[in-house]
Structure 1
Amino acid sequence: MKWGRIQFKSVGMKIFIILFATVVLVSTVLGVSSYLMSKEIIRGQVGLASSQAIEQAADKLDFLFTEYESISRQLAVDQTLKADLELVTNSSVDIVKKTEAETRIKSKLDAMKGSDSRLFGIRLTKKDLSKAYSSGGSSGTQNTEYAQAAFDKIQAAGGKPLWLPAMKKGFFDATNEPTLTMGRLLQNLKNPNGEFYLLIEVKDRAITDILSNLKIGKAGEVRVITNDNTIVHATDSSLIESQSFIGLDAAQLEGDDVSFLTTDDAGITQLVVYRQLKTVDWRVIGYAPESDFVSAADKLLYVTAGVLLFAVIVALLIGIYLVRVIGKPLEKLCNLMEEGEKGNLNVRTRFKGHDEIGRLGHSFNRMMEQISALVERTNLSAEELLNTAENLSMASKDTSRNAGEIAAATSEIAMGATSLAEEADKGVDIADQIGHQMENVMNLNSAMDKSVEKVIGVSQQGKEYMASLVEKTEAVSRMTGLIEENSGKLSRSTFSIRNILAPMVEMTKQTNILSLNASIEASRAGAAGKGFVVIAEEIRNLAVQSNNSIQTVSTITEEIQEAIENTVNVLTTITPMFDEQLVSVKQALQIFQNVMSEMESFVGDIQSSSASVHELNNSQSVLRDFFANVSAVVEETNASTQEVASMSSEQYKVSEELVQLSNRLEVLSETLRESLSVFIVDKE
């Protein structure tokens, strides 16, 4: 592989990119996963620890609130206090008793307040503030809207303790520090006028003392909020009565998790832990920036970056090694296969290894050697096929030419036979005239002389025609022999063609097997053998074309063989007929010679014709029978000649088809040579 020009489509580069990306991705995923898991583990552990601390603080607050609720129950069941309250509200009681009762009430309240420094004050008051008793140090009372609404809530509680959220300036908005108040209606069913509202004001510092040792993170804070997220207690007392930016909803309260993440007004992620109080529908929540807990996990990012850098370096080194070991040999093999695809069968690999790449290179070399040998053998077979086609074409042309000559000679024989038939008819007419004139033969000797001269002339002409017929019949016989000889040559040529086609069929089968093996090797090579598949496909197509050409030549050869056999069969049938015709013609010639001899004797004896009338009458009968026989022989000769002419025409057509088939065979041979010429093979 050339590094000057990076080839991203090469297998080596793809392997390098996949390996590099995999190592980097795995390292990154592992590092980030470790970081996120560490954060999650730290967050869970911190949340669990903080939740336990918050739970302890909530238990302390519940204990505190339970303690003051217990005080309120003591006052609610205190019969002395109940009697004093009835007494101070009874208008019929004198002032001394009322004063004593009020003194006892104040003393009780002072005693309770004095025993607990966390209390800001304890009050017993009417709703309209017409009667109010408080412990020493308590602030004054003011009839405010908040106070009246609180009294309504306390009354709705039906004598049960009710905790009211802390107020910055106390219940009556008259203190200089925040307090939270527990209210309770001291019921008096017998004397409703003696009912008072008990207000126990607890200093906000009481909650601060409980939560002071609780730390959430470095900059965390613990708060107590109501069910509507109103702040009851906060480190910054100015936030009391305001809404907390971190609150809880019903879904969070119903869930099993005691911690969650949220974002404050500044966009900082806060880890929040909470606990529901048992005595009152308030929640203790603690929160701190998440970064206070997971800052140690941030160090994992630097470790991950270092590991990622090391993984990148290792991936680069391994990728370069794989590119050199796999990518470069595959690229060389692809280039060689492209050369082979262009027809250069001299390309070879020089891989020395024994791994899959080396085995692929050795298999490629063996395949190219086998293809080269196959192409050389196919070239030799094509040369032999072309020579055979040329010989077959020449023999076919000779056969066609001879068939044409036979057809012409047969036509001439037919014409001669026709003339001979006409002359035979004339002889019959003359013989009839001789028969009619036999009665006056003595008076018509001169006419008989003329008739005899005509008969001699006709006999001489018949003799000449018969001699010509003998010569032409002998020529037809010789041409028939030539046709049989040429047919034998054609038969032997077709047999040679079949012998040549047999190894070519075998070579085509071997080529198909070789292309199949090449396809299998290419499939094993995977993507690297795509070019190899192209060569195998071309070889298979070449084998298919060769097989089709061989099948075509074989079919043509069989057609030629069949035509030759038909021609031989026709000639075998014609030859005896020609022999019989030759015998008949010779007999006719002998007859004409006999006629000449007889006519000459007749001329010699014409002077004694009167004495030889009886003999002449017999001779006239013989002559008539002779001409009848001659006419019949001529008719038979004419029919045989027409049959020979028809067979000659068929033989001429067969010869013409044989010439065309030979020309097609030559064209196919040239096409096969041109197809093989694209391959370059060393010729040693």
Structure 2
Amino acid sequence: MISRFQSVGTKLFLIFFISIVTFVLTVGLVSYNISKNTISSQVSKASLQTVVQASEKLDFMFRDFETISSQIQTNTELMDQMWKLLYFEVDQDERVAIHRKILSSMNLLLHSNPNAEGIYLLNEKGSFGTSNQKIPTQFMEQDWYKKTIEGGGKFFWLAPRERGYLGLGKENTQLFAVAQVLKNSLNETVGVLLIEFDANLLSETLDKVKLESGNVLIRESSGQVVASTDPSFTDQVASLKLDEAEGQFSIKANGMEALVVYKVSDVTNWSLIGFIPKQFLYAEANYIFRITVLCAISAALLAVVIGYLIVRRVGRPLIQIRDLMQTGAKGNLTVKSDHRSKDEIGQLGNSFNEMIEKITSLISDTSVLAGKVLHTANEIVSGSDKTSTSAKEIAMATESIASGAGTLAEEAMRSNEITQNTQLQLLSVAESNSEISASASEVMLISNEGIHHMSNLMTDTYTAEDTLRTMADKMGRLQESTGSIEKIIQVMEQINNQTNILSLNAAIEASRVGAAGKGFMVVAQEMRSLASQSRESIQVVSGIIHAIQEEITGTVSSFLESRQIYSAQVNAVKEANAIFQSVHDSMEHVISKLGDSTLLIQQLKESQTALGESIGNVSAVSQQASAVSEEVASQSSEQLKISRELVGLSTQLKQLSDALKESLSKFKISE
């Protein structure tokens, strides 16, 4: 049974209802948000303009207050009198007169500006002002006084304080002030001028600033609130950070959103801040929201009425057709739909009637066919029994064939394994033969290289032998030359001896002649000295020649010995060359034999391969025969199994035919 919430009518009703309500709410909420943003933007601009104008008015007022200080500063007579009274010794009468004149000027300025509450000149040497009370000296320890002194002529605006900054004001009176250093015409500091004003002036000015249900306050740069129209907003605004000269932004404080607009004063550096709760800004937008809610409720009621009509128009005919289908499902095929409209529901009723008619015809035809199927099932049961008997006989014969083919296949596989092992051994022998052939080729290459090197060595040996023979001849001639040099030295020694004797005879003859032979005596002495030097040089050369001759003799002897050794080495080289040639010839013979062996092994390998292929073919044929036999046996068993299943299926078909006839008898196809 379908629940009410699952019916088509209910679904149509919910779709229509949700669509209308969603559309109305979407349009209303979009309009509400657009109007809210527009109002917020317009109010923000207007509020910022109002705050800017109010700040400019305050700056004009503050500049007017600063002119009081300028008037005193430009009054040189008054400044000189103050300077004289503070820093010079004057008699009492003159002091009193100057003091009265100063106070008179200050009172005149005070009365000319009704907003001023007091004017004071503060100095460590003395202070005076418009108040009748004595000015305390504690001001020198206060921060505002020190900052004013350090400012050097700059105006310092001071936030309201109870009874003012000197404590000379009235009870329960808030006074704000401006302070400035005064200097005379010589640019010498006279003192600090302090002018105090009633703080109610600021409150009255703020009350004139009209914002949309908002609050306005003045704040110092340090965060201290100077004046406010509503003290409850002081804590929220005191900590705000203002980065520009003017601007606007939104904040959230105490669970409430608010718009903040501000303007920083160019004179006092105080900030005029407007604080507007957004709930007042959105009052008109909330009216749009309430209208949207009312429209949504009206649309919901209208959707309920229209949805009811849709359910009545669509849901009920569908329920009637559903009931007819359930009746037909129980076996009563005589039911018909009487809905005759031309819409989709009427077409559905006509289609239902056509379906019932076709089902009735189908059941009649099926009843006839069921009888024929029952007869055919009986014939199939008889044929299946015969097929099962034939399949048993075929299976037994096939099993015998498969057994013989399997034995043949096993023998062929065993022969194939032996052939493969033999082939592997031949491959191993062929690989070994190839390795030996490669080694022999390497040896042959090495022997060729050795023969080449031995040939070069013998050529070099013959060349060296010719060189040694030439050197031996040159050594003999050199030895003969040293003998000739020795003979020449002997001749030179004889000449030297004769020269020495000649010089001695010349000296004797010169001594006989006397004075006339003194010159000849000198020549004889020089010749004797030259003969002595020649004898010494000949002896040295003779010793050197004798040493060279001994060295040459030893060299010739050593050379002859090495020549014998070198001859033996030449013979050894010739023998080694003969050995390399013999190895080369032997390797050529071995390589030739290995080539013949490799050829025979290759032929044997091809024969083994052909034998293995033949055995493999026999094995394959045997395996195929065995596989075919097994497949035939399997098919025979399968056929036997199928025959048995066919018998069972034929029996089931007979039973199903009976059941079908019984089921068809339940349908009512005529009145």
Q: Does the Cα contact within 8 Å between 2:251 and 2:259 map onto a contact in 1?
A: yes
Query: Is residue 2:176 matched to residue 1:165?
Result: no
- Residue 13 of structure 1 corresponds to 10
Query: Is residue 2:63 matched to residue 1:72?
Result: no
CA–CA distance in structure 1, aligned partners of residues 244 and 16 of structure 2? 49
Q: Which amino acid aligns with 1:169?
A: R
1:57 CA displacement: 1.0
Identify if the C-alpha distance between structure 1 residues 134 and 329 changes in structure 2 by more than 3 Å, giving closer, same or farther: same
CA–CA distance in structure 2, aligned partners of residues 256 and 344 of structure 1? 89
Identify if the C-alpha distance between structure 1 residues 261 and 243 changes in structure 2 by more than 3 Å, giving closer, same or farther: closer
- Residue 355 of structure 1 corresponds to 343
Q: Does the Cα contact within 8 Å between 1:163 and 1:182 map onto a contact in 2?
A: yes
- Residue 248 of structure 2 corresponds to 258
Q: Does the Cα contact within 8 Å between 1:86 and 1:191 map onto a contact in 2?
A: no
Identify if the C-alpha distance between structure 1 residues 138 and 352 changes in structure 2 by more than 3 Å, giving closer, same or farther: farther
Please state whether the residue corresponding to 1:24 is helix, strand or coil.
helix
Q: Provide the aligned length of Structure 1 versus Structure 2.
A: 420
Q: Does the Cα contact within 8 Å between 2:247 and 2:263 map onto a contact in 1?
A: no
1:383 CA displacement: 1.3
1:116 CA displacement: 1.6
Superposed, 1:413-428 pairs within 5 Å as none
1:143 CA displacement: 3.9
Q: Does the Cα contact within 8 Å between 1:343 and 1:678 map onto a contact in 2?
A: no
Superposed, 1:430-445 pairs within 5 Å as none
- Residue 154 of structure 1 corresponds to 148
CA–CA distance in structure 1, aligned partners of residues 135 and 233 of structure 2? 27
- Residue 504 of structure 2 corresponds to none
Query: Is residue 2:326 matched to residue 1:369?
Result: no
Please state whether the residue corresponding to 1:353 is helix, strand or coil.
coil
Of 372, 378, 384, the match for 2:372: 384
Query: Is residue 2:665 matched to residue 1:671?
Result: no
Q: Which amino acid aligns with 2:190?
A: E
Query: Is residue 2:307 matched to residue 1:319?
Result: yes
CA–CA distance in structure 1, aligned partners of residues 649 and 236 of structure 2? 100
Q: Which amino acid aligns with 1:682?
A: I
Of 33, 45, 52, the match for 1:48: 45
1:75 CA displacement: 4.2
- Residue 400 of structure 2 corresponds to none
1:324 CA displacement: 2.2
- Residue 211 of structure 1 corresponds to 206
Q: Does the Cα contact within 8 Å between 1:20 and 1:319 map onto a contact in 2?
A: yes
- Residue 181 of structure 2 corresponds to 185
- Residue 467 of structure 1 corresponds to none
Please state whether the residue corresponding to 1:195 is helix, strand or coil.
strand
- Residue 669 of structure 2 corresponds to 682
1:161 CA displacement: 0.7
Please state whether the residue corresponding to 2:169 is helix, strand or coil.
coil
Identify if the C-alpha distance between structure 1 residues 93 and 173 changes in structure 2 by more than 3 Å, giving closer, same or farther: closer
**Scaled by the length of structure 2, what TM-score is found?**
0.52
1:33 CA displacement: 5.2
1:152 CA displacement: 1.7
Give CA-to-partner distance per residue, 1:459-484, whole Å, 9 cap, x none.
xxxxxxxxxxxxxxxxxxxxxxxxxx
1:120 CA displacement: 1.5
CA–CA distance in structure 2, aligned partners of residues 369 and 228 of structure 1? 97
- Residue 542 of structure 1 corresponds to none
1:247 CA displacement: 0.6
Q: Which moved more, 1:378-387 or 1:107-116?
A: 107-116
CA–CA distance in structure 2, aligned partners of residues 43 and 392 of structure 1? 94
Identity of aligned residues (%): 28
Superposed, 1:126-137 pairs within 5 Å as 126=123, 128=124, 130-135=125-130
CA–CA distance in structure 2, aligned partners of residues 658 and 156 of structure 1? 124
1:261 CA displacement: 5.8
Identify if the C-alpha distance between structure 1 residues 253 and 311 changes in structure 2 by more than 3 Å, giving closer, same or farther: farther
CA RMSD of aligned residues (A): 4.4
1:58 CA displacement: 0.8
Of 113, 118, 135, the match for 1:116: 113
Query: Is residue 2:195 matched to residue 1:195?
Result: no
1:305 CA displacement: 4.5
1:273 CA displacement: 4.1
Identify if the C-alpha distance between structure 1 residues 377 and 252 changes in structure 2 by more than 3 Å, giving closer, same or farther: farther
Q: Does the Cα contact within 8 Å between 1:167 and 1:178 map onto a contact in 2?
A: yes
**Scaled by the length of structure 1, what TM-score is found?**
0.52
- Residue 175 of structure 1 corresponds to 169
CA–CA distance in structure 1, aligned partners of residues 333 and 246 of structure 2? 78
Please state whether the residue corresponding to 1:327 is helix, strand or coil.
helix
Identify if the C-alpha distance between structure 1 residues 107 and 677 changes in structure 2 by more than 3 Å, giving closer, same or farther: farther
- Residue 141 of structure 1 corresponds to 135
1:43 CA displacement: 4.4
Q: Does the Cα contact within 8 Å between 1:225 and 1:232 map onto a contact in 2?
A: yes
Please state whether the residue corresponding to 1:55 is helix, strand or coil.
helix
Superposed, 1:614-633 pairs within 5 Å as none
- Residue 57 of structure 2 corresponds to 60
Query: Is residue 2:314 matched to residue 1:329?
Result: no
CA–CA distance in structure 1, aligned partners of residues 76 and 374 of structure 2? 142
CA–CA distance in structure 2, aligned partners of residues 257 and 350 of structure 1? 78
CA–CA distance in structure 1, aligned partners of residues 29 and 267 of structure 2? 45
Please state whether the residue corresponding to 1:142 is helix, strand or coil.
coil
1:154 CA displacement: 1.5
CA–CA distance in structure 1, aligned partners of residues 44 and 140 of structure 2? 38
Give CA-to-partner distance per residue, 1:352-389, whole Å, 9 cap, x none.
33433333443344344334433332332221222344
1:347 CA displacement: 4.9
Identify if the C-alpha distance between structure 1 residues 660 and 250 changes in structure 2 by more than 3 Å, giving closer, same or farther: closer
Identify if the C-alpha distance between structure 1 residues 663 and 195 changes in structure 2 by more than 3 Å, giving closer, same or farther: closer
- Residue 550 of structure 1 corresponds to none
Give CA-to-partner distance per residue, 1:307-330, whole Å, 9 cap, x none.
233212211112112222333334
CA–CA distance in structure 2, aligned partners of residues 354 and 255 of structure 1? 77
CA–CA distance in structure 2, aligned partners of residues 59 and 18 of structure 1? 61
Q: Does the Cα contact within 8 Å between 1:178 and 1:203 map onto a contact in 2?
A: yes
Q: Which amino acid aligns with 1:312?
A: A
CA–CA distance in structure 1, aligned partners of residues 649 and 233 of structure 2? 106
Please state whether the residue corresponding to 1:245 is helix, strand or coil.
helix
1:180 CA displacement: 1.0
1:31 CA displacement: 4.3
Q: Which amino acid aligns with 2:9?
A: G
Q: Which amino acid aligns with 1:179?
A: L
1:292 CA displacement: 5.2
Give CA-to-partner distance per residue, 1:547-600, whole Å, 9 cap, x none.
xxxxxxxxxxxx79x99xx9xxxxxxxxxxxxxxxxxxxxxxxxxxxxxxxxxx
CA–CA distance in structure 2, aligned partners of residues 309 and 233 of structure 1? 49
Identify if the C-alpha distance between structure 1 residues 393 and 286 changes in structure 2 by more than 3 Å, giving closer, same or farther: closer
Of 80, 83, 88, the match for 1:86: 83
Q: Which moved more, 1:248-257 or 1:367-376?
A: 248-257
- Residue 275 of structure 1 corresponds to 263
Q: Which amino acid aligns with 1:381?
A: L
CA–CA distance in structure 2, aligned partners of residues 341 and 270 of structure 1? 70
1:42 CA displacement: 4.0
Q: Does the Cα contact within 8 Å between 1:379 and 1:673 map onto a contact in 2?
A: no
- Residue 226 of structure 2 corresponds to 232
Gapped regions of structure 2 (runs ≥ 5): 395-638
CA–CA distance in structure 2, aligned partners of residues 164 and 270 of structure 1? 29
Identify if the C-alpha distance between structure 1 residues 212 and 244 changes in structure 2 by more than 3 Å, giving closer, same or farther: closer
Of 222, 227, 247, the match for 2:237: 247
Give CA-to-partner distance per residue, 1:133-157, whole Å, 9 cap, x none.
324x576533447972220222233
Q: Does the Cα contact within 8 Å between 1:258 and 1:275 map onto a contact in 2?
A: no
1:8 CA displacement: 1.3
Q: Which amino acid aligns with 1:49?
A: A
Q: Does the Cα contact within 8 Å between 2:76 and 2:184 map onto a contact in 1?
A: no
Gapped regions of structure 1 (runs ≥ 5): 401-558, 567-653
